[in-house]
C-alpha cells in the first residue's frame, strides 16, 4: 500500500490540473475580450450594449458546430445578444455563418484562443446589462432549451 500512495497522489494532482485547465472556464474580465472589427481592435462590450452570450468556438470543433442552430434560436428569443468569437480567419467565419444561416455577430479574436486561457471549446460567458460576467460554461449546450433560458433569466434578473 505504501508503494501505491505516491502514484495515487501524483494521479490526483494531474487529474486536478486537467480539470482546472480544461473544464473550468478562465476567469476573465469581459472588457478583455478584444476582436477585430473594421481593421481595428475593439472590446466586445464597446461594440454591443445589453446582455450578451459570448461563445468561444472554432470551425473545426464538431460540438461547436452542433450548437450553432441552438445559439441562433437563443439569439432570436431576444433576452441577450449571442456573439461568437474565434481565432479562425475571416473566410472560415463567413463559411460557418453561411452554413448555418446565422444572423448574430461573429468576430475574429485579436489573438489566439489560448492567449485568452481558453483550452476547452466551446467556452461561453453570459454577461449582464453592465457587461459583468454572471455565468461561465464549458462544453456544448442546447442554448435555446427552456431550462437554460430560465437560468439565464434568473442570472440576468429578468
User: What is the distance between the alpha carbons of residues 72 and 100, in angstroms, rounded to a whole number?
Assistant: 9
Mean pLDDT estimate for the chain: 86
| 3-state secondary structure at position 59 | coil
Is pLDDT above 90 for 65? yes
Biggest distance spanned by C-alpha atoms of the chain: 63
Show the cell assigned to 73: 434560436
Lowest-confidence region among 31-40, 43-52, 120-129, 135-144: 31-40
Is the domain defined by 4-155 classed in CATH 3.90.78.10?
no
Residue spans of the domains in the chain: they are: 4-155
Residue 81 DSSP label: E
User: What is the distance between the alpha carbons of residues 152 and 143, in angstroms, rounded to a whole number?
Assistant: 10
User: What is the distance between the alpha carbons of residues 148 and 142, in angstroms, rounded to a whole number?
Assistant: 8
Q: What pTM, to 2 d.p., does this model score?
A: 0.83
User: What is the distance between the alpha carbons of residues 45 and 127, in angstroms, rounded to a whole number?
Assistant: 9
Contact yes or no for 21/119 (Cβ under 8 A): yes
Contact yes or no for 121/59 (Cβ under 8 A): no
Is pLDDT above 60 for 64? yes
Amino acid at each position: 500500500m505504501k508503494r501505491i500512495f505516491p502514484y495515487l497522489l501524483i494521479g490526483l494532482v494531474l487529474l486536478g490540473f486537467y480539470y482546472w485547465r480544461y473544464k473550468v472556464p478562465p476567469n476573465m474580465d469581459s472588457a478583455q475580450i478584444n476582436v477585430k472589427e473594421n481593421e481595428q481592435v475593439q472590446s466586445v462590450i464597446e461594440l454591443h450594449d445589453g446582455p450578451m452570450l459570448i461563445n468561444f468556438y472554432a470551425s473545426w470543433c464538431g460540438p461547436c458546430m452542433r450548437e450553432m442552430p441552438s445559439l441562433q434560436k437563443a439569439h432570436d428569443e431576444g433576452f441577450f445578444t449571442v456573439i461568437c468569437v474565434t481565432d479562425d480567419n475571416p473566410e472560415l467565419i463567413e463559411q460557418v455563418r453561411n452554413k448555418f444561416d446565422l444572423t448574430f455577430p461573429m468576430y475574429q479574436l485579436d489573438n489566439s484562443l489560448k492567449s485568452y486561457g481558453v483550452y476547452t471549446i466551446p467556452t461561453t460567458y453570459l454577461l449582464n446589462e453592465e457587461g459583468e460576467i454572471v455565468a461561465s460554461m464549458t462544453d456544448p449546450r442546447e442554448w435555446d432549451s427552456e431550462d437554460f433560458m430560465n437560468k439565464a433569466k434568473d442570472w440576468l434578473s429578468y
